[in-house]
Structure 1
Amino acid sequence: MRTEDVLAAIATGMWRWDDASGTVTLDAEAARLMELPAGPGDHSESAVRSRFHPVDWNEVNGIVALAIAEDTLAEARLRIVDGSGRVVRTVRSRSKPVLVGERYQLIGTIQEVAEPKPSATAAQTSITGDWRRSREAFLLDAGRALAEARSTAEVLRVAASLSMPGFSPDGLAVFGVGGDRLTIIGHHGHSAGDDEPFTDLPLDTDYPASEVIRTGRAIYLPTPDDYRRRFPVTWPLAQRFGRQSWAFLPLIVAGRTIGAWMAAFRHPVAFTPDERSVLTTVARMLAQALARAGVAESERELSLGLQRSMMPTLGPDIPGMTVAARYVPTGGGLQVGGDWYDMIPLPSGRMALVIGDVQGHDVRAAGLMGQLRIALRAYASEGHRPDAVLSRASRFLHGVTDAHDNGDHSGPRFATCLYLEVEPATGLVEIARAGHPDPVVVTADGTVLLRATEGGLPLGVDPDSDYPTTRFVLEAGETLMICTDGLLETGGHDLDTGWARLRGVLEENAGRPLEDLADTLVQAVHGPTSHHTTGPLADRREDDIAVLLLTREGAPVRRPTRRTAMSVAQAEPERIAAARQHLRELLHDWSDAEQVDSAVLMVSEMVTNVLVHTDGNALLAAEIAHGDESRRLRVEVTDPSDELPHKRRPGEMASSGRGLVLMEVLADAWGVDPRGEGKSIWFELYEPAAGAEPDGGPDGGPDPALPAA
């Protein structure tokens, strides 16, 4: 008896579906079942496809793909419709997919199955529809949750919490590969120590997870008998857990098997095509999530390694001084940018403090920062003065960035930098500045002063740029702060508004321990942080932050003298406004507001006269000293000209000539002192004693005869 006759007797037909040519070969029984013309023959794919119910046809591609991936039979229950779309029968298809290049052929059978009763059909249709909707909702939720997981631990936690529709596993394990050994990345639903027998198995062990990793194909074990029959060697290890069904699926990323996922069930599971499809989809998402988490963890580890290697520890201690520092990286990427700080012991016994910011927040910026930091250390250790250190560093950076200009097409990079040397015994500070924000001094009485310093262009812009040095003394109890612009500008601020915000924080926290002050400064911008912050908080940062604080220890004098100084060059007339602002900051608690206005007016006049009537720069120095009953303000403006000013009587319409007249009217004392080279013009104001009436017009306001500022 022929095979065809036997198959026809049991209402079973044969077919061959060639995906490459788009033709389907049917025998006579298969053609009858498909409602196609009687007799064997070839039919177009579209003709055969038109005989399947549209809902059932949508499932076919997924079932075939799953069978190809698992090297199993593709089984499906399909409804056949006639030309009018009416369902005439239901068939069951069982086919073996055979890959031919990148396309496939299906070779198998179709068999008519009995129609269930109408009531059962309605119930089955309802159940099937509900299950499909539940499956789609589950896969969407699972995909979203796994996509948001940031670490391997989070991925495993999400995988353990997945509740699959109708067949949720109660035991999960994720296996990885370490050389030629099987490892367990994580598990759920087992007691502590249950994973020990499986943590170091050779990959050639007769164990389902090992075979899945070796072959890249899923293994389904619906019953304990299936497990015992296929894997007798390792069955005793699995038997003690009391499970009834197991699914082992490969974790594949970019065509490479990186591990295996086990889902174990306490109840029997048949692993129907739909159930296998769900498990396979979850395994794919799980593999992608683990791969992403692994990359993210590697980047974080690399980031922390770069931070540890590039951010120095503060030490050795500076005798008589306390130092604190913070570095907070910007968000994204490797969490390392171009900001840095450093502390360098010098041969002279001094200590150098450096802070800087290389343009950019990428890997190249971090690399240039490391090179520049080493160069600065080398130049400082050779004993060069601050101006020479920055000049050499600028030439170095210009050469490095120019040589690598064609590497990433981003053009030459520059860096801002502030380099200072401090003499611990005397508190003498010498500063050279390259396009960086000025330092800040918090005096012993809590006054916050932006310490104006001369400076040059950022490093790397002009290899021949000069960097003049500014000197001042840090008194006992005073704190020096240097920072990068990230501390000022984060949160939508510019340098001016950022400085105003920072000044309030410094005033409110003056006198606190230095470590607490460093934390408070960063918290004022970003919220709580640690010495080196990474993770979600760092991801929200707009710019790197580096801040370094230095306090000179010792008890301050009972009433310390408050000082400030700055220079105004011929080419920088805009710094006259800064001079006025510095004087107002110095006089922030002066009791007589009219005297403050007078002092600002006289300083503006004195500095302007130097720029207009001489060829040199103006050096402004101001101090507030305590007398027996009140305080005294003394301001000096020095210039290199030997020509002494003369008091004139300007007419009503004259535009100049009032400088000395103003000083004579507004100052309590004033004078002009010749120097070895140049001269110094000075004035003094005496703060009224407590309870004294300020000088002024009849109503206590400014004298109406005085010109407005």
Structure 2
Amino acid sequence: MRTGEPLPAVGEVLSSLATGVWHWNTATGLVTIDAETARLLGLPGGTTTLTEARARARFHPVDWNENTSIIRLASDEGTLAEVRLRIMDEQGRIVRTVRSRFRPVYDRKERVYRVTGTLQEVTEPTPGTAAQTPVTGDWRRSREAFLLDAGRALAEARSTSEVLRVAAGLSMPGFSPDGLAVFGVQGDRLTVIGHHGHQPGDEAPFTDMPLETDYPAAEVVRTGRAVYLSSPEQYKSRYPVTWPLAQHFGRQSWAFLPLTAAGRTMGAWMAAFAYPVAFTPDERSVLTTVARMLAQALSRAGAAESQRELTDGLQRSMLPTLGPEVPGMGVAARYIPTGGGLQVGGDWYDMIPLPGGTSRTKSGGSRFALVIGDVQGHDVRAAGLMGQLRIALRAYASEGHRPDAVLSRASRFLHGVNDGALHGVDDSGGDDADPRFATCLYVEVDPVSGVLEIARAGHPDPAIRMADGTVMMRPTAGGLPLGIDPDADYPTTRFALEPGETMMICTDGLIETGGHDLESGWHRLRAVLEDHEGGLESLADALVQAVHGPSSHQTPGPLADRREDDIAVLLLGRPGVGDGYGATMLVGPTVRRTLLAVAQDEPERIAEARDQVRGLLHDWTSDEQVDTAALLVSEMLTNVLVHTDADALLLAEVTGERGERRLRAEVTDVGDDLPHKRSPGELASSGRGLVLMELLADAWGVDPRGEGKSIWFELYEKG
């Protein structure tokens, strides 16, 4: 072109360079293209206007979606954007690849984008360079897979530390930072939440930094806009005051991105690189997407941690301390909340001082009560009801009521709360009007004599570990769970905890967790109780660890996330003669004893009696003698129920050393008629009890008492 000639139009210049021009207005949904752009898109004619749908049909759908996201990104950052797009023909085949450069303008008033850009055909790189070129199809596929994996990992992170660990392990396709930092905001100060790729203490200068500081992360928090620094020179020129803080790390490029959740900038994320990075639109798009996912993950984790802290504090505030040591007794307890949701539920335990000795115990000692229970549900309402029920039980117990009266009053109280909830008056503070019930076991303890008086409301029976390590479930009389029937009765069971014995009471979460039912779960706990050597505290830990692994006292820890139900467990121990609560606390005289009452209207308890005897003889050397003992006990109890109007009381006791032990089983009743041996006919349905005693027992007898009688037998172990 000679001097003085007029300059050609911009369109002519671009056309001569095989570069087209296009304009897109999202308000009208129309795309205007010039002749060169039409040629590149495979469309006939010159300058024309297309609908958005017709223009979109000429591009690969993945590329079109990427183009729209980069438009938003470039508009937010106020930068020039660049993207590569694949052109498709009518048959869906890729015919060429073009590069588009554009600068979008966002009209905040009308909420529309106006975009003007250029289009130019480019040659695809050779396959061997795909990994190093962040604008190829291969890189695009790698990036999509990376973002899916990163999003999944961040979504699964449950705590801030997990989120930071996932962020530190991210390996971005084509470019990976070797230094990361997550900044938070407290008031008008910048804080460091976590970092990776730095030495401990490196974060000190950046902690508690005023937001007005001329530092990239502070600017990002103030403005909500990302800052990209491609070289140390660029960093130094833009932030000369804080450049010395970053200089000694030896990095070459930095990206500072806002962490925005729910429209609020909650902090900043720094990705630092040991090599120069140009921060192309594709690279910025990846970083921006990761920053958004990271912000959401941190927001979720922070909310979950606050919720866990709140609910754990609520649960802890409702649980008691076990108080001062009780002379002659030892007590240990554990509570572990459920892992799902709010980590708060309805399990609880309590230790209640009772009024002084009464005629029932005749000991004059300082009696106390142990309570363990489980309100239905694992939510705030369950926890609220648990708190109310615990207070009510304490009040009724402190008034001096017997165990049966305490549970009867507690059941009426909970029934009234449920009735109020059904009529719109929910005293628990929840919005769930469904009635809730609660299981409970109440034990009144006389520490001097070891006498226990137990009332049970739908709760699992206690287990007794005897002095020689034998463990048995101790059947007790019981009634309906609390809150179901306001007039329900709760019969009591009375027995003595012998020296060297330990009683375990727990909620069903300890028994049934891990896919176990009551039977298989009990066998698992029984093995722990039998094998353990040590004091009550270590035994309590062993029971919890057997179910869920290591855990600390009243601390959910990471294992709480795997819990299916709350766990509460209480241990009551009575030391043997001369024993303290050290490693030999559970060792005592080789005596095993069980006591069981069978009422006239409870014939089903005869089966429990047989189980109790088999439990006493679990390590007996002769299985035949075990069967004999169960049979004779069944015959003695049946004889009382059939031939008298009285209730029966079974006392079975094993004494002696292994191989030379003696079983003595005795059934007493208040009836006056003594049993007589008969000669039953072949078809007779009764009369064989004493015959069997004479044939099978090593010794037996019938003894009159001052009131009633007793029948007994003995078996001697065959070594």
Output the TM-score relative to the length of structure 1. 0.85
Q: 1:218 aligned to 2:226?
A: yes
Q: Is the 8 A contact 1:358 1:413 kept in 2?
A: yes
- How far is the alpha carbon of 1:102 from its aligned partner? 8.1
Match of 1:60 among 61, 64, 67: 67
- How far is the alpha carbon of 1:253 from its aligned partner? 1.9
Q: How does 1:543-558 map to 2 (within 5 A)?
A: 543-555=565-577
Q: Is the 8 A contact 2:331 2:571 kept in 1?
A: yes
Moved more, 265-274 or 279-288: 265-274
For 2:637, give the aligned amino acid.
Answer: V
- How far is the alpha carbon of 1:613 from its aligned partner? 3.9
- Percent identity between the aligned chains? 68
Distance change in 2, residues 1:102/1:475 (3 Å): farther
Distance change in 2, residues 1:534/1:63 (3 Å): same
- 1:455 is paired with a residue whose SS is coil
Partners in 1 of 2:703 and 2:52 — Cα distance?
Answer: 106
- How far is the alpha carbon of 1:176 from its aligned partner? 1.2
Distance change in 2, residues 1:646/1:202 (3 Å): same
- Return 5+ residue gaps in structure 2 as ranges: 357-365, 425-429, 579-586
**Residue of structure 2 equivalent to 1:289:** 297
Q: How does 1:221-236 map to 2 (within 5 A)?
A: 221-236=229-244
After superposition, the CA RMSD in angstroms is: 3.7
Q: How does 1:384-423 map to 2 (within 5 A)?
A: 384-405=401-422, 411-423=434-446
- How far is the alpha carbon of 1:91 from its aligned partner? 5.9
Moved more, 545-554 or 92-101: 92-101
- 1:429 is paired with a residue whose SS is strand
Partners in 1 of 2:628 and 2:179 — Cα distance?
Answer: 82
- How far is the alpha carbon of 1:595 from its aligned partner? 5.4
For 2:709, give the aligned amino acid.
Answer: S
- How far is the alpha carbon of 1:666 from its aligned partner? 4.9
**Residue of structure 2 equivalent to 1:380:** 397
Q: Is the 8 A contact 1:327 1:531 kept in 2?
A: yes
Partners in 1 of 2:110 and 2:671 — Cα distance?
Answer: 90
Output the TM-score relative to the length of structure 2. 0.84
- How far is the alpha carbon of 1:44 from its aligned partner? 2.5
- 2:297 is paired with a residue whose SS is helix
**Residue of structure 2 equivalent to 1:448:** 471
For 1:684, give the aligned amino acid.
Answer: F
Q: 1:468 aligned to 2:491?
A: yes
For 1:150, give the aligned amino acid.
Answer: R
For 2:12, give the aligned amino acid.
Answer: A
Q: How does 1:341-352 map to 2 (within 5 A)?
A: 341-348=349-356, 349-352=366-369
Distance change in 2, residues 1:498/1:600 (3 Å): same
Q: Is the 8 A contact 1:80 1:91 kept in 2?
A: no
Q: Is the 8 A contact 2:101 2:117 kept in 1?
A: yes
**Residue of structure 1 equivalent to 2:711:** 682
**Residue of structure 1 equivalent to 2:615:** 585
Q: Is the 8 A contact 2:56 2:64 kept in 1?
A: yes
Partners in 1 of 2:417 and 2:456 — Cα distance?
Answer: 21
**Residue of structure 1 equivalent to 2:336:** 328
Partners in 2 of 1:652 and 1:281 — Cα distance?
Answer: 89
- How far is the alpha carbon of 1:294 from its aligned partner? 1.7
Q: 1:571 aligned to 2:598?
A: no
For 1:64, give the aligned amino acid.
Answer: I
- 1:296 is paired with a residue whose SS is helix
Distance change in 2, residues 1:27/1:134 (3 Å): closer
**Residue of structure 2 equivalent to 1:702:** none
Q: How does 1:493-642 map to 2 (within 5 A)?
A: 493-509=516-532, 512-532=534-554, 534-555=556-577, 561-588=591-618, 596-624=626-654, 633-642=663-672
- How far is the alpha carbon of 1:76 from its aligned partner? 3.4
- 1:404 is paired with a residue whose SS is helix
Distance change in 2, residues 1:631/1:233 (3 Å): closer
Q: How does 1:93-242 map to 2 (within 5 A)?
A: 93-99=101-107, 104-110=112-118, 112=120, 127=133, 128-239=136-247, 241-242=249-250
- How far is the alpha carbon of 1:218 from its aligned partner? 1.8
- How far is the alpha carbon of 1:576 from its aligned partner? 1.0
Partners in 2 of 1:416 and 1:368 — Cα distance?
Answer: 12
Number of positions where the alignment pairs a residue of Structure 1 with one of Structure 2: 683
Moved more, 360-369 or 645-654: 645-654
- How far is the alpha carbon of 1:254 from its aligned partner? 2.7
**Residue of structure 2 equivalent to 1:76:** 83
Partners in 2 of 1:624 and 1:541 — Cα distance?
Answer: 39
Q: Deviations over 1:86-132 (max 9, x none)?
A: 9689564323232467863333242657x66x9x7788789523332
Partners in 1 of 2:198 and 2:619 — Cα distance?
Answer: 69
Partners in 2 of 1:88 and 1:669 — Cα distance?
Answer: 104
Partners in 2 of 1:588 and 1:194 — Cα distance?
Answer: 64
**Residue of structure 2 equivalent to 1:705:** none
Q: Is the 8 A contact 2:82 2:99 kept in 1?
A: no
Q: Is the 8 A contact 1:53 1:87 kept in 2?
A: no
Q: 1:44 aligned to 2:51?
A: yes
- 1:309 is paired with a residue whose SS is helix
Partners in 2 of 1:647 and 1:80 — Cα distance?
Answer: 106
- How far is the alpha carbon of 1:241 from its aligned partner? 4.3
Distance change in 2, residues 1:65/1:547 (3 Å): same
Q: Deviations over 1:416-462 (max 9, x none)?
A: 22211222222222222222222222222333333232222222222
- How far is the alpha carbon of 1:555 from its aligned partner? 1.9
Partners in 2 of 1:240 and 1:404 — Cα distance?
Answer: 65
Partners in 2 of 1:186 and 1:633 — Cα distance?
Answer: 67
- 1:68 is paired with a residue whose SS is helix
- How far is the alpha carbon of 1:390 from its aligned partner? 1.6
Distance change in 2, residues 1:200/1:657 (3 Å): same
